[in-house]
């Protein structure tokens, strides 16, 4: 097995593991996905951090096995870390999804009317199609395959 196929296999397994864990926790909305990641981080840190930092795991595997730094994945990882910092690494300890939702909305939006608060909450609670919930994971997989097939990235 050559190294490119090995990276694609590692990427597939890491992403499949993330999707399996999230779907086994019955994620149906954006709020569910954020709350599951928040709960895993607090209750099962090793599993939680592995699931949250899946892009970084793939980046490290690519770099050490192929010697390539994938710029597209690096960009996605930066965005993902920023979103996690704002929504998952918060100073709150709760198992109540409504308290979590209230904290997230209040920390991201300083001045809201009651109607705006409820609109944002309803949007985050609205059930989403599976492809929308896991679109980031699919984009990450596409970036890896594209980088390997096109030979893009910076050689390290």
pLDDT single digits (tens) 85-120: 988 988 888 889 999 999 898 888 888 888 988 898
CA atoms within 13 A on the CB side of 9: 7
- pLDDT for 154: 60
Query: What's the pLDDT at 152?
Result: 57
Give the model confidence (pLDDT) of 5-21 as tens digits.
Answer: 999 999 999 999 999 99
How confident is the model over 60-83, as pLDDT tens digits?
999 999 888 888 899 999 999 998
Contact yes or no for 72/141 (Cβ under 8 A): no
> When comparing pLDDT for 32 and 72, which is higher?
32
Q: Tell me whether strands 154-155 and 68-69 are parallel, antiparallel or unpaired.
A: antiparallel
DSSP state of 118: H
Question: Does position 34 have pLDDT exceeding 60, yes or no?
Answer: yes
Q: Which residues contact 138 (CB under 8 A, 6 or more apart)?
A: 131
Domain total of the chain: 1
- Compute the average pLDDT of residues 27-51: 93
Give the span between the Cα atoms of 111 and 19, in whole angstroms: 35
Phi and psi of 151, rounded to 5°? 75, 25
Residue predicted with more confidence, 155 or 52: 52
CB-based contacts of 24: which residues, under 8 Å, 6+ apart?
none
Domain range for 79: 3-155
pLDDT > 70 in the chain, percent:
96
Over residues 34-49, the mean pLDDT reads 92
Q: Tell me what the pLDDT averaged over the chain comes to.
A: 89
Please determine, for residue 145, whether its predicted confidence score (pLDDT) is greater than 80: yes
DSSP 67-97: -EE-HHHHHHHHHHHHHHHHHTS-S---S-H
Of the pLDDT bands very low, low, confident and very high (cuts 50, 70, 90), residue 28 is: very high
């Amino acid at each position: 097995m050559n190294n490119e196929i090995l990276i694609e296999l590692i990427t597939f397994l890491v992403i499949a593991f993330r999707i399996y864990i999230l779907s086994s926790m019955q994620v149906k909305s954006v709020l569910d996905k954020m709350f599951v990641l928040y709960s895993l981080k607090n209750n099962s840190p090793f599993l939680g951090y592995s699931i949250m930092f899946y892009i970084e795991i793939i980046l490290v595997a690519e770099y050490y096995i192929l010697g390539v730094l994938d710029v597209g994945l690096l960009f996605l990882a930066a965005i993902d870390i920023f979103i996690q910092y704002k929504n998952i690494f918060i100073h709150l300890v709760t198992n109540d999804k409504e308290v979590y939702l209230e904290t997230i909305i209040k920390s991201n939006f300083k001045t809201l009317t009651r109607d705006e608060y409820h609109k944002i909450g309803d949007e985050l609670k609205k059930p989403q199609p599976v492809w929308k919930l896991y679109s980031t994971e699919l984009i990450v997989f596409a970036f890896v395959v594209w980088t390997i097939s096109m030979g893009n990235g910076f050689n390290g």
